[in-house]
């Protein structure tokens, strides 16, 4: 008898998020542009507000055309924000053979045999490999209950918390237990963390994994442990 393979389970963001990104943000930007166009007129009726002459002149200049221009600029700004936020929209597909984590322009697959466990840690999906190594730690902002169900349905191990949480120590430049190369990567990664460079953070996390180091962050602080 042939064993039927269960269809892969895909966990993704709902339509509400996409409506917020592609409709809500541009609409909010356009509304903000309209509001800004009316601000000089509102201030002009306040006799106690300084520079009334200049404000009254500005209010007289701003007409329907300027209002439309500001609304369009606001909508475009909202669209740019939507594009930036879309880079963080992640889809997780869990199948009998592989786990795939995909974001716009980036996709990574992990064979079932290499995944020894999974859990969610502060909105990050973490996949564990041999020896407790973190083979993936991706911010997904997906419902942990849906992720748990998907992994368990396809025979993967699942933990409610990080089984290695107690092993993490705060990174201090020059601390013992890390190689010179690992410290160098962590220094660069700290700069990326300070500047909120998500792409660099992911790439440098993978570089540290190559040195047998797992890393997580709490605010602007990095924590590390040896793994693998």
DSSP character at residue 112: G
Q: Return the pLDDT at 145.
A: 94
Residue 2 has pLDDT above 50, yes or no: no
Distances (CA, A) of 163 to 77, 109, 134, 151, 208: 43, 23, 11, 17, 20
Q: Return the pLDDT at 212.
A: 93
Nearest to 227 by CA among 148, 126, 158: 126
**Domains of the chain by residue range:** 15-86, 89-160, 164-228
Structure tokens at 161: 């918390």
pTM over 0.85: no
R_g (Cα) of the chain, nearest Å: 25
pLDDT in tens, 6-37: 899 999 876 766 666 677 778 888 888 788 77
In whole numbers, what is the pLDDT of the chain averaged over residues?
A: 86
The CATH class for the domain spanning 89-160 reads alpha beta
Percentages of the chain per state (helix, strand, coil), in multiples of 5: 50, 20, 30
**Quick one: average pLDDT of 73-100?**
83
């Amino acid at each position: 008898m042939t064993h039927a393979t269960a269809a892969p389970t895909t966990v993704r963001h709902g339509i509400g998020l996409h409506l917020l990104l592609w409709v809500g943000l541009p609409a909010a930007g356009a509304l903000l542009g309209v509001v800004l166009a009316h601000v000089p007129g509102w201030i002009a009726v306040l006799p106690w507000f300084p520079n009334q002459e200049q404000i009254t002149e500005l209010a007289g200049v701003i007409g329907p055309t300027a209002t439309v221009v500001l609304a369009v600029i606001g909508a475009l700004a909202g669209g740019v924000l939507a594009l930036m936020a879309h880079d963080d929209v992640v889809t997780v597909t869990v199948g009998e053979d592989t786990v795939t984590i995909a974001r716009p322009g980036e996709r990574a697959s992990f064979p079932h045999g290499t995944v020894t466990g999974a859990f969610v840690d502060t909105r990050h999906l973490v996949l564990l490999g041999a020896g407790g190594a973190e083979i993936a730690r991706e911010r997904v902002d997906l419902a942990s209950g849906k992720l748990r169900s998907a992994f368990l349905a396809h025979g993967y191990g699942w933990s409610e918390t990080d089984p290695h949480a107690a092993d993490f120590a705060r990174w201090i430049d020059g601390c013992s237990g890390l190689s010179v190369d690992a410290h160098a990567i962590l220094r660069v990664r700290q700069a990326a963390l300070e500047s909120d460079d998500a792409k660099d953070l992911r790439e440098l996390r993978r570089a540290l994994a190559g040195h047998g180091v797992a890393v997580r962050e709490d605010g602007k602080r990095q924590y590390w442990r040896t793994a693998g």
